[in-house]
A = this chain, B = another copy of it.
Amino acid sequence: MALGKNYDGQDCSLAKALEVLGERWTLLVVRDAMYGVRRFGDFQAHLDIPRAVLSQRLAALVTAGVLERRRYQDAPPRDEYVLTPMGRELWLPVLALAQWGERNLAAHGPRRLYHHVACGTPLDRQSACATCGRSVPLEEVEVRPGPGLRHDTREDLVSLALRTPHRMLDPIS
């Protein structure tokens, strides 16, 4: 049965957010952009999905204002995808969902740990730093490998970059 992408009649803010983010893979594309992935081939290698699906998801996120498409090379023409301020604001829901998954569904402990880059303090599930007493935005977060990562055998560029501490949004390419 056809279930379109929109939620007509569900005019609530959650439904509106899911119209932008609710398709399969979309939030994982956003997650990778938060890590600093910018180029089509790097998204593709890390997500391991068909190129047509990735193209559609990236285009939809650009249309929605979550990603911005930027030319980084002219001959041959090549674009990269960077989170807009509206996209970076997705850090809170992405972190909240990931932390829920981690507490309830992760078999081998956390794969990724999030710390405040200024003081090294681990962030809580609302991205608050207990040392600095404030909520930490994506720009100030460092991701570090957690104990669950010891089972990781992936060799793509993104997986390798995240085996050591990495500041969120720093380009991976």
User: How distant is the Cα of A148 from the Cα of B128 in the complex, in angstroms?
Assistant: 30
User: CB-CB < 8 A to A80: which residues of B?
Assistant: none
User: CB-CB < 8 A to A65: which residues of B?
Assistant: 104
Counting CB contacts under 8 A, is A13 at the interface? yes
Counting CB contacts under 8 A, is A92 at the interface? yes
User: CB-CB < 8 A to A128: which residues of B?
Assistant: 126
Within 8 A of B (CB), among A87-129: 89-90, 92-94, 96-106, 110-112, 125-126, 128
Interface size on A, residues (CB 8 A): 57
User: CB-CB < 8 A to A92: which residues of B?
Assistant: 96, 99-100, 125-126
Counting CB contacts under 8 A, is A160 at the interface? no
A89 and B100: CB pair below 8 A?
A: yes
Complex: chain B residue closest to A99, CB-CB: B13
A7 and B28: CB pair below 8 A?
A: yes
Counting CB contacts under 8 A, is A157 at the interface? no
**Nearest Cβ distance between residue A107 and chain B, in whole angstroms?**
9
- The interface stretch among A44-52, A70-78, A164-172 is A44-52
User: CB-CB < 8 A to A3: which residues of B?
Assistant: 24-25, 49, 53
User: How distant is the Cα of A60 from the Cα of B1 in the complex, in angstroms?
Assistant: 18
Known A-B contacts A86-B104, A100-B90, A105-B20; the reply to A15 vs B28 at CB < 8 A is yes
29 A-B residue pairings within 8 Å (CB atoms): A3-B25, A3-B53, A9-B48, A11-B111, A11-B151, A11-B152, A12-B98, A12-B111, A13-B105, A13-B106, A13-B110, A13-B111, A14-B28, A15-B28, A15-B101, A16-B102, A16-B105, A16-B106, A18-B28, A18-B97, A18-B101, A19-B105, A20-B105, A21-B97, A22-B24, A86-B104, A89-B100, A93-B96, A96-B96
